[in-house]
Chains A and B, each alone.
Chain A
């Protein structure tokens, strides 16, 4: 008779219930002769398939519950493979020959792509039939045993275990089990492997090593309609599993894991029922790969992005000032001025787009936003913004005064303005714009320029409208006293941008290293006020500016971290831990500190974090114990009371088997070294 045993690695109430009901079920349906195992997440069955010269053919059928999935032979970004352990009459098949060959399924049904957040797996959400051929003697074998381990996942993963058995005689599958299998008909890939070719794009993508490749699907064309082409790799390190793949006109765009790859192997799936095992030979392409040409919607997106860019804090003050200029200009000045401005923008956009495109094509990995990853650039920008804001507020004047009421229009003026607007706008971004530029970088140079041009036109649009369309000009208010106020108002978006830059700086280097930079901004304010008050001229002005710049550079975010960070072991204070360390005879340097305690910070910077003290502590194998009193803490308050102190700083050195040495609040290097050396 057929029996079934199972053990569930994760014993749960479900398994026990199923054990009871399963046993009853088997008694009731003993005619089925199909050994099975039921778990909460999936079930497995073992059945006869056929007999041949090669041996006995069986099928393992794994049936995941709705919502759960099991994995393909390459699970993808996460997961685990199916593991099978076979025995014919208790002996592993093929054991007689040298080495036990690992028995794999004869074939795997076409897997699905299962997305899990930013990751992707390959597996099955429904019944999966895996045919096996066991090299066991079909005449003498009486019993086949399969020990299985597989993984079923939904949101979380539960390992599944099963031991299934089949007994001789090896009948052909019964009607009922054959019908059951037909119901869950799996589609298998074709037998013959096909070789395809593909091109790898040269480095033209974002600073972020994504490598695109284009696969030519032409050899597969004869197989009918392509519903949704997808390349599924059969091992790790070939492609970015979660990246979308795009198919158009018989070419499939995929993201490789590395540009160095020369071949890929896996499945090319054309539809849920048709897939080919493929080997893909890759070669480097000279020109960028683009499955799409410049479309109207792409240009529209770039244009719209440019328009929206006008209200972004970097371009907005410029737009404001431009309007300010137009308001006090004559009608003719407006027309010509705005056209020249737009021309200036377009020319600079072309230069910019072309420049970046050429640089990227030659391998330089620049992209949008790379400059903001450098703390010194961010600090400099913050300074510049505060400087400009102060200028707009009228705190100081810089540069020669220009008469606004001149009759003529200088050609170079608006053109230069346009050029500078572009320089200003480039680092900024707006909705639609980032996406459009991303696509632009995948296109050939000419198409790239078209996108940049569209962007430029978008930026120029508000000014063009005001300059050319009479109706718009009318909505501009008459020049008057409001203009000065408006100019001052424009300072605030700039200050806000400076504040935002400060948050970026803190995010990059952390608050500790950003602190000098914050004080640098305050120093800048002071210097600006000084400049305005002293009213220098000529040479003295130049000297002042230079010395100011030097002074400000002293406040740059500290590129080097303090020495102690890695040299000594740091632990957080706890009464029990301190007692334990002291009992063990370990020297402990206790530092009770808080971020708001200036004396503590200066003690650290000037004395405690110096090389000499650090080396001395390291030599003594001392542990640094930090009690952070930034926020109220009872344990630390008790500690302070114990040492007779009301506030911080408090530094104590616990030499092994000696009295603790309590330091005076203000530390000196010699004081500390002396105490440690004793």
Chain B
């Protein structure tokens, strides 16, 4: 019986085996200049499974969405968000609207309701990401809806925070507010560094499962 050799083989072979609960659950917010999670797979409302690496080389905007949050409604009801989506997707920016509401929680979307929302709001985003597990949200550190993240063509985070500088829920305040996302995108498209890279996001909390 080749026991010894088998044990050695067994031991050598089982090297590096891991059962998954080792990886820390700590939610580390993505820092400006850090690499956005390229490999993390996610599902879009169109049924496609993809990841950020698929959009390599492009500027990517991630917009956290909860259609029932008054602050999201603030921007959607006057087509502020839609106008931004159209303007920048036309310029070749990838715009991902991410829904991280866990199933059963406020604003949770499935494929059908997501497509219905896109239709009813006439949104022009590149794709709606269905992130009910919250994995993408936690990888970025998304806390509010809306919460905006912009990654540059090299996949590094260039802006994160609020969409604009007025945290009122009134749509009327959008006109006079400074739109941080627009500023950052204009600067990035012109090849200039982003002047305001990080602001305090406002809105409802993202409805994670736990």
What residues make up the interface of A, taking CB atoms closer than 8 Å to B?
A: 9-10, 75, 77-81, 83, 116-119, 121, 149, 151, 153, 155-159, 161, 206-210, 235-237, 240, 242, 257-258, 312-315, 317-318, 321-322, 324-325, 328, 367-373, 377, 381, 384-385, 387-388, 391-392, 397-402, 404, 413, 416-417, 420-421, 423-424, 427-430, 434, 438, 483-484, 487, 490, 494, 497, 501, 504, 507-511, 561, 565-566, 572, 628
Contact = CB atoms under 8 A, between A and B. Distances in A.
Nearest to A479: B1
Interface string B90-126: 0000000000000001100000000000000000000
B19 A428 contact: yes
A572 B170 CA distance: 37
24 contacts: A77-B144, A78-B205, A79-B205, A80-B167, A117-B205, A156-B69, A156-B106, A209-B28, A317-B10, A321-B3, A325-B3, A367-B23, A368-B18, A387-B13, A399-B8, A399-B9, A401-B2, A413-B4, A427-B15, A428-B18, A428-B19, A487-B1, A565-B54, A565-B55
B144 A324 contact: no
A404 B3 contact: yes
A434 B41 CA distance: 26
A428 B49 CA distance: 30
A109 B58 CA distance: 47
Contacts of B203: 78-80
B4 A510 contact: no
Contacts of B29: 257
Interface in B185-210: 198, 200-210
Nearest to B199: A236
A566 B54 contact: yes
Nearest to A260: B31
Contacts of A565: 50, 53-56
B71 interface: yes
Interface in B155-187: 167-170
Contacts of B49: 510-511
4 interchain residue pairs of minimum CB distance: A420-B11, A369-B22, A159-B169, A399-B5
Nearest to B46: A572
B126 to A, nearest CB: 9
B207 A117 contact: yes
Interface string B53-64: 111111000000
Contact of B8 (A159, A236, A420): A420
A372 B70 contact: no
B6 interface: yes
Given A78-B143, A258-B31, A404-B1, A385 B22 contact: no
Nearest to B200: A236
A473 B180 CA distance: 72
Given A151-B169, A402-B3, A402-B4, A368 B17 contact: no
Contacts of A155: 105-106, 207
A434 B21 contact: yes
Nearest to A483: B1
A511 B4 CA distance: 38
Given A325-B3, A427-B17, A572-B46, A318 B70 contact: no
Nearest to B58: A566
A381 to B, nearest CB: 6
Contacts of B8: 399, 416-417, 420
A497 B17 contact: yes
Given A424-B10, A428-B17, 8 more contacts: A77-B205, A312-B19, A325-B7, A392-B10, A417-B11, A429-B19, A484-B1, A561-B53
A222 B168 CA distance: 41
Interface centre among B50, B55, B169 (most CB of A within 10 A): B169
Contacts of B53: 561, 565
Contacts of A427: 15-18, 22
B56 to A, nearest CB: 6
A476 B56 CA distance: 59
Contacts of B15: 381, 384, 423-424, 427
Contacts of A75: 202
Nearest to A435: B21
Contact of A149 (B16, B22, B169): B169
Nearest to A567: B57
Contacts of B143: 77-78, 119
Contact of A391 (B9, B55, B200, B204): B9
Contacts of B5: 398-402
Given A257-B29, A321-B3, A80 B14 contact: no
Contacts of B31: 209, 258
Given A78-B204, A384-B15, A429 B7 contact: no
Contact of B27 (A118, A321, A387): A118
B138 interface: yes
Given A157-B204, A258-B31, A318 B10 contact: yes
A208 B54 contact: no
Contacts of A372: 16, 18, 20, 22-23
A416 B4 CA distance: 10
Contacts of B87: none
* SS class, residues of chain A in contact with chain B: mixed
Contacts of B46: 572
A379 B68 CA distance: 43
B17 A9 contact: no
Contacts of B1: 328, 402, 404, 483-484, 487
B205 A121 contact: yes
A150 to B, nearest CB: 10
A651 B27 CA distance: 45
A117 B209 contact: yes
Contacts of B57: 566
Contacts of B106: 155-156
A149 B11 contact: no
Given A79-B202, A80-B71, A369-B20, A385 B3 contact: no
Contacts of B58: 566
A424 B206 CA distance: 40
Nearest to A10: B70
Given A237-B198, A400-B5, A117 B208 contact: yes
A397 B2 contact: yes
B168 A149 contact: yes
Interface centre among B2, B6, B105 (most CB of A within 10 A): B6
Given A78-B143, A325-B7, A400-B5, A494 B14 contact: yes
A494 B14 CA distance: 8
Nearest to B171: A9
A369 B16 contact: no
B51 interface: yes
A420 B1 CA distance: 20
A546 B21 CA distance: 35
Nearest to A211: B28
Contact of A434 (B10, B22, B208): B22
B124 to A, nearest CB: 13
A370 B23 CA distance: 7
A628 B32 CA distance: 38
Given A398-B9, A399-B9, A118 B22 contact: no
A385 to B, nearest CB: 6
A217 B6 CA distance: 58
A318 B46 CA distance: 47
Contacts of B209: 117
B2 A149 contact: no
A496 to B, nearest CB: 11
B13 A385 contact: yes
A312 B201 CA distance: 44
A117 B142 CA distance: 13
Contacts of A149: 168-170
A324 B3 contact: yes
Contacts of B13: 384-385, 387-388, 494
A314 B169 contact: no
Contacts of A161: 170
